[in-house]
């Protein structure tokens, strides 16, 4: 158990697995940690693009956990990506359907605004 956040320390989610020595490309030294943090930051950016359509924001906490918050200031600590969507639904107060037409339209419009 983490003494700072009182969360159980569990296995890493499959989306956050680090490179294993058996992989073709082995990263030496501190580059492995830098690579992990870059990937974590990139995931957070992509997820904020999606969650922003629902009025939610995702931040990282020590590049180990996610902090999900809404516009009212409510915040949830999310262990990994497997727990993100249920937490987002809890903060939003309703079921979030990623195939809903309004969501897809908002996502498309925000994507066009960021590329122009």
60-82 confidence digits (pLDDT tens): 877 678 899 999 999 999 988 88
Predicted TM-score of the model (pTM): 0.67
Is 67:77 a contact under the CB 8 Å cutoff?
yes
State both tokens at 97: 């359907």
Domain positions in the chain are 31-115
State both tokens at 36: 């992990």
- What's the pLDDT score for residue 116? 45
Among the listed residues 63, 10, 11, the one whose alpha carbon sits nearest the alpha carbon of residue 32? 63
């Amino acid at each position: 158990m983490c003494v700072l956040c009182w969360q159980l320390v569990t296995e890493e989610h499959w989306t956050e697995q680090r490179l294993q020595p058996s992989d073709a490309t082995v990263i030496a030294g501190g580059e492995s940690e830098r690579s992990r943090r870059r990937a974590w930051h990139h995931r957070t950016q992509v997820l904020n693009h999606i969650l922003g359509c629902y009025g939610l924001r995702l931040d990282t906490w020590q590049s180990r956990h996610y902090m999900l918050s809404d516009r009212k200031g409510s915040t949830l600590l999310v262990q990994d990506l497997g727990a993100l969507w249920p937490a987002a639904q809890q903060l939003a107060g309703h079921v979030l359907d990623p195939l809903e037409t309004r969501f897809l339209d908002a996502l498309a419009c925000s994507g066009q605004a960021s590329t122009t």
